[in-house]
C-alpha cells in the first residue's frame, strides 16, 4: 500500500490551488462539494474558474509561483500548473513546511492523492490505486455507485443520532455490535431504503424500548424477501435483488432459478430447495408458505427466490398472503419475467408497430389434460400470445388455436432455457411445431410465443448460445 487512506475534517483544511487549467477546475468542484475552504493562484485562469472560487468564498490571485511564502496559512497545497518543474518545486517547498501536497499527474512528487469518491454524506467511500490509473478508479466508482443506495446517507444519519442512546442501553460491546448488525441489515435499514424514514425511526425507537424493558434483550425480527430471479441469466437480476441476497440468512429457491443466479448467493447462506416441476412438487405450496413463516419467526432474513417475476404465474401472491396473515414483514422485488427476457434474447419483440399492438400472457399449465382457455379471445390479429408452462399441452394448444380460426401459417417459436448459454429457439408454424419439439426432445423451462412478430427472429436475433453457435 503506497498511499494510506485517511479522511480529514474539512473544517480544519485550508487549501491553496496553484494553477488555473482544467485539472484545477475539477479540483475546485471537488472542494466546493466537500465544503472545503480554498484559494487559487495562477498566471492565467480558464473560463468559469474564478466565478466558482469566488462563489465559494475564496480568492483568485493572478501571478506565477515564486517562493514558499505564498503557502503561509494553508494546510494543503495542490500543484496543478502545466509545468512539471514548477509543480515539483512547489511539492518540495510544501513538504519542507510540513504541509500536505498533491501534484497533478505525478503522484509520487507529493504526499497525498485524490481518489474517486462515492458521496453518501455522512458516509463517504473513497477509491485509490496509488495514482496508477484514475480511469480505473472512476470505473470502479461507477460500479459501486449502483450497488450503494443513496439512502445509505440517511441510514448513517439515523444511526449516528441514536448511537449514544444505544451505547447507554447496551454497555456490553458484543451485544451492541449484534444490535447494530440487526438494525443495519434488517427491517429498519430496509425501511430507510424504501423511503420510509419515519417508519424506520419508529422501529428503532421500539427496539430501544424493548431493550430498556428487557435488560440486554436483542431484537429477533425476521423478514422475507420475495425476489424475482429472472429467466436465467444472472446479469438480469436487479441491483436490489442482489443486495438482499447478500444479507439473507436462508434462501428458498425453486427449480426455475438458474445455477448462475444461485452462484451469487454467499456460501454461508443456508439453501433450501423447494422446487416444483410438473407432477413433481418436492414441497407443496402450503408447505413453502409455512416454511417462510417459520424461518422468519426464528428471526432469520429469508430470501424466497422464484424464477422470472413472482407475480406473473409465480404464485407469489399466495405466499405473501400467508405472510401478511401471520404478521411477518416482507417485501417484493420484481424480476424480469420469462416473456420479456426470452423474447429479447431471441430477437422476437413482443410488440411491433407493423405486427402486434398488444401482447397477452397465458398459462399453459393444463389441468387433467383438458384445455380450458378463452380461445375466441386469443384469436386476434395483431396480438402476440405468450404461453407459460405450456410444453406438455403444446399440441393441444396448437390444435385449439387452429380449430378456433387462427391462420394455419401463423409463425410460432418455442424458446428452451431462454437467456442462458443453453438457450435454443425453434421456429415453425402451428401445424409442424408439435412434431418438431418431440423430435428435438425439448425440455423445461420453455416458453411458447405465437404471433407475426416471430417472423422477425431471423433478422433480429443477436444472442448466440453455446448450443446455437
Question: Can you tell me the distance from the alpha carbon of 319 to that of 322, in angstroms, rounded to the nearest whole number?
Answer: 5
| Cβ(412)–Cβ(439) below 8 Å | no
Q: Is 47 marked active-site? A: no
Q: Render the burial of 130-150: b for 16+ CB within 10 Å, e for the rest.
A: ebeebeebeeebeeeeeebbe
Q: Which among 71, 81, 75 is positioned nearest to 109, based on CA atoms?
A: 81
Q: C-alpha cell of 304?
A: 424466497
Question: Can you tell me the distance from the alpha carbon of 158 to that of 166, in angstroms, rounded to the nearest whole number?
Answer: 12
Question: Can you tell me the distance from the alpha carbon of 357 to that of 347, in angstroms, rounded to the nearest whole number?
Answer: 17
DSSP class of 215: S
Q: Is 276 marked active-site? A: yes
Catalytic residue among 25, 254, 306, 417: 254
- At 232, phi and psi to the nearest 5? 155, -50
Question: Can you tell me the distance from the alpha carbon of 310 to that of 227, in angstroms, rounded to the nearest whole number?
Answer: 7
Question: Can you tell me the distance from the alpha carbon of 235 to that of 390, in angstroms, rounded to the nearest whole number?
Answer: 26
DSSP class of 107: G
Question: Can you tell me the distance from the alpha carbon of 352 to that of 390, in angstroms, rounded to the nearest whole number?
Answer: 24
- Other CB atoms within 10 Å distance of the CB of residue 167: 11
How many Å is the maximal CA-CA distance in the chain? 94
Mark out the alpha helices in 364-444 (DSSP H runs).
375-378, 394-403, 433-440
DSSP class of 356: B
Catalytic residue among 217, 276, 297, 392: 276
Residues that are catalytic = 254, 276
Amino acid at each position: 500500500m503506497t498511499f494510506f487512506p485517511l479522511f480529514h475534517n474539512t473544517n480544519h483544511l485550508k487549501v491553496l490551488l496553484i494553477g488555473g487549467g482544467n485539472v484545477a477546475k475539477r479540483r475546485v468542484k471537488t472542494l466546493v462539494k466537500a465544503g472545503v475552504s480554498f484559494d487559487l493562484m495562477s498566471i492565467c485562469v480558464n473560463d468559469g474558474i474564478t466565478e466558482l472560487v469566488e462563489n465559494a468564498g475564496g480568492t483568485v490571485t493572478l501571478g506565477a509561483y515564486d517562493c514558499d511564502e505564498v503557502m503561509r496559512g494553508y494546510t494543503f497545497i495542490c500543484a496543478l500548473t502545466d509545468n512539471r518543474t514548477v509543480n515539483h518545486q512547489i511539492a518540495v517547498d510544501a513538504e519542507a513546511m510540513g504541509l500536505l501536497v498533491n501534484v497533478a499527474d505525478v503522484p509520487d512528487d507529493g504526499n497525498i492523492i485524490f481518489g474517486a469518491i462515492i458521496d453518501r454524506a455522512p458516509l463517504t467511500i473513497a477509491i485509490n490505486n496509488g495514482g496508477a490509473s484514475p480511469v480505473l478508479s472512476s470505473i470502479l466508482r461507477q460500479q459501486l455507485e449502483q450497488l450503494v443506495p443513496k439512502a445509505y446517507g440517511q441510514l448513517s444519519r439515523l444511526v449516528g443520532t441514536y448511537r449514544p442512546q444505544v451505547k447507554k442501553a447496551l454497555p456490553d460491546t458484543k451485544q451492541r455490535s449484534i444490535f447494530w448488525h440487526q438494525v443495519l441489515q434488517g427491517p429498519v435499514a430496509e425501511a430507510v431504503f424504501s423511503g420510509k424514514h419515519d417508519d424506520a425511526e419508529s422501529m428503532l425507537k421500539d427496539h430501544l424500548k424493548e431493550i430498556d424493558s428487557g435488560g440486554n434483550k436483542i431484537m429477533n425480527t425476521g423478514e422475507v424477501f420475495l425476489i424475482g430471479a429472472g429467466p436465467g441469466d444472472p446479469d438480469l437480476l436487479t441491483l436490489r435483488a442482489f443486495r438482499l441476497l447478500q444479507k439473507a440468512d436462508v434462501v428458498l429457491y425453486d427449480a426455475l432459478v438458474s445455477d448462475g443466479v444461485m452462484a451469487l448467493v454467499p456460501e454461508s447462506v443456508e439453501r433450501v430447495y423447494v422446487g416444483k416441476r410438473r407432477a413433481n412438487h418436492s414441497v407443496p405450496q402450503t408447505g413453502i408458505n409455512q416454511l417462510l413463516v417459520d424461518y422468519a419467526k426464528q428471526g432469520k432474513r429469508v430470501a424466497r427466490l422464484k424464477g422470472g417475476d413472482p407475480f406473473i404465474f409465480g404464485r407469489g401472491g399466495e405466499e405473501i398472503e400467508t405472510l401478511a396473515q401471520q404478521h411477518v414483514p416482507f417485501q417484493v422485488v420484481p424480476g424480469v419475467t420469462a416473456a420479456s427476457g426470452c423474447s429479447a434474447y431471441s430477437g422476437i419483440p413482443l410488440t411491433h408497430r407493423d405486427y402486434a399492438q398488444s401482447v397477452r400472457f397465458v398459462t399453459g399449465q393444463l389441468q387433467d389434460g383438458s384445455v380450458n382457455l378463452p380461445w375466441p379471445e386469443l384469436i386476434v390479429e395483431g396480438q402476440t400470445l405468450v404461453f407459460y408452462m405450456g410444453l406438455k399441452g403444446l399440441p393441444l394448444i396448437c390444435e385449439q388455436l387452429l380449430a378456433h380460426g387462427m391462420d394455419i401459417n401463423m409463425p410460432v417459436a418455442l424458446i428452451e432455457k431462454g437467456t442462458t448459454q443453453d438457450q435454443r429457439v425453434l421456429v415453425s408454424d402451428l401445424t409442424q411445431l408439435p412434431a418438431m419439439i418431440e423430435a428435438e426432445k425439448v425440455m423445461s423451462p420453455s416458453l411458447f410465443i405465437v404471433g407475426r412478430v416471430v417472423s422477425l427472429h431471423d433478422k433480429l436475433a443477436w444472442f448466440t448460445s453455446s448450443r446455437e453457435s
